[in-house]
Amino acid sequence: MEIILRILIIIFIFLSSLSSQSIKDISSFVGIRSNQLMGYGLVVGLAKTGDKNQMSKKSLKNLLEKSKMRLELNEIETKNIAAVMATASLPAFAKQGDRINVQISSIGDATSLEGGQLLMTQLKGIDNKVYVIAQGKVNTRKA
């Protein structure tokens, strides 16, 4: 009986090895990739090179209202602020607290962002979740 059991086990192992495949043969690996992020923000502290349009005025008004400050649009001068789009590529293996480069681009009629300061700007992924908060001095030097 013991010999028959051993023979059956050997046959079972032999037959199972004939139909076995390694995981790499039956699966594919989706590559790890970076994630593109985007957000809308304001750059302040410009030397009279900011926007002259209503969008920047309305954005600043909305921002100040969140701080319980009420202003009329005609009370706001936009020559020192600019509306911008902020974009970044979040590396695949980024950890919380890592620093990444954020590019900003004027979306109004500002002539220069030099010397400005980006106010706190949320950058979101395609899933509309916030992944990065950007804020700081604008660096206009070419990389």
What was the pLDDT predicted at 42? 93
**Separation of alpha carbons 42 and 105, rounded Å:** 10
Q: pLDDT tens-digit profile of 100-135?
A: 899 999 998 999 999 999 999 999 999 999 999 999
What was the pLDDT predicted at 75? 76
Q: pLDDT tens-digit profile of 32-60?
A: 778 899 999 999 999 999 888 888 888 88
Q: What is the DSSP letter of 76?
A: -
Residue 104 DSSP SS3: strand
- Report percent pLDDT > 90 for the chain: 40
What was the pLDDT predicted at 22? 57
Average pLDDT for the chain: 82
Residue 23 DSSP SS3: helix
pLDDT band at 81 (very low <50, low <70, confident <90, very high): very high
pLDDT band at 13 (very low <50, low <70, confident <90, very high): low
- Report percent pLDDT > 70 for the chain: 83
Q: 83 vs 67, which has greater pLDDT?
A: 83
Angle at 92 between CA 89 and CA 95, to 5 degrees: 95
Expressed in percent and rounded to 5, the helix, strand and coil fractions of the chain are: 25, 30, 45
Q: pLDDT tens-digit profile of 53-73?
A: 888 888 888 888 888 888 787
**Separation of alpha carbons 27 and 58, rounded Å:** 52
What are the residues whose beta carbons fall under 8 Å from the beta carbon of 102, sequence distance 6 or more? 86, 87, 88, 118, 123, 132, 134
Beta bridge partner(s), residue 106: 84
